Amino acid sequence: MKHDLKYLADKILSAPFINEPFKHIYIEDFFSEEHFNEIISSKQIAAPPVNTAAELIDKLEELGYEIIEFPGCISDKNKYLSWLDQNKKSIPESLQTATNTACEGFGMVLRLKSLKPDILSVVNDYICGEEFNKAIAQRLNIDLSSCFTDSGIQKYLNRYEISPHPDIRKKASTFMVNINPSESSKEMDHHTHYMKFKPEYKYVQELWEDSRIERCWIPWSWCESVKTQTKNNSIVIFSPSNDTLHGVKASYDHLVTQRTQLYGNMWYDNRGMGHLLPWERLSELKKT
């Protein structure tokens, strides 16, 4: 089968913007049916069921995945497995410095680094390539020459959590494509929520209008979910701003199947961090 993926850039260039809960592009049936079925039936995507989390990580590493540093996660396999075994409802104090106090848990993310010469290698090359990223940059009015990109194929294990956040100012864009191998993935509790502030916390967004203040993760209770990206073969694209709140709290059986995405960002080369005010400090500001 020919793997000409130019139609993906064409879809991005022609898709309308959606403004609720914030400005973004959302496209269903992103890949053709033939290409998508080939993607999710690949042995590197449709990993076989296992009996334990340790066996799962070993199997994914055998398939070419590597544990990576990623928000909402730790990269220490033994600590992650111990955390799952303890089944605690809050993050141990010994691990809080590696996670975020706005979260109740953490997970592990693996990126596919050793790709076999099939459609996955073609797809990975395309989402990392100029044509795809140029289309995103054009739609979001980003100077691609001022950015570097970081994209790949990723699996997110159980308890992965990143609380609502709009992304830091150094990030120029984000895209996420659901390529879950399970037919029942839509019903699973591991999808990205797109959110907005509850009225009483709208002041935080107003504080972030000051470009000297860096945007941070905030508690789930400060927001309400407006939209959840549950549909397989869908893509969401947006440029981070003060209102682009999104988050994930995964609770599902990763021994049977795993949350799997094409995921990528553009980052500004020369943009630094603002002054970080963590959510605890923002909460205090409301009281003053």
Q: Minimal CA–CA distance to 166: which of 213, 113, 116, 118?
A: 213
Q: What is the mean pLDDT of residues 167-186?
A: 96
pLDDT in tens, 245-264: 999 999 999 999 999 999 99
- Has residue 228 been placed in a domain? yes
- At 25, the amino acid letter reads I
Confidence of residue 72 (pLDDT cuts 50, 70, 90): confident
Q: What is the mean pLDDT of residues 144-157?
A: 97
- Has residue 180 been placed in a domain? yes
- Has residue 1 been placed in a domain? no
- Has residue 163 been placed in a domain? yes
pLDDT attached to residue 97: 46
pLDDT attached to residue 158: 95
- Has residue 161 been placed in a domain? yes
Q: Which helix (H) or strand (E) holds 213?
A: strand 213-214
Range of the domain at 249: 6-287
Confidence of residue 116 (pLDDT cuts 50, 70, 90): confident
Q: What is the mean pLDDT of residues 83-93?
A: 70
Residue 247: give its domain's CATH number.
Answer: 2.60.120.620
- Has residue 93 been placed in a domain? yes
What string of DSSP letters covers 149-207? EEEEEEEE-TT-EEEEE---TTEEEEEEEE--S-TTGGGSS-PPEEEEE-GGGHHHHHH
What string of DSSP letters covers 28-50? SS-S-HHHHHHHHTSTTTSPPP-
- Has residue 179 been placed in a domain? yes
- Has residue 28 been placed in a domain? yes
Q: What is the mean pLDDT of residues 273-278?
A: 82
The total of structural domains in the chain comes to 1
How far is the C-alpha of 285 from the C-alpha of 288, rounded, in Å?
Answer: 5
Q: What is the pTM of this model?
A: 0.94
> Dihedrals φ, ψ of 10, to 5°?
-60, -40
Q: How many CA atoms lie within 13 A of 83 on its CB side?
A: 26
How far is the C-alpha of 35 from the C-alpha of 164, rounded, in Å?
Answer: 32
* Share of residues in the chain with pLDDT > 90 (%): 80
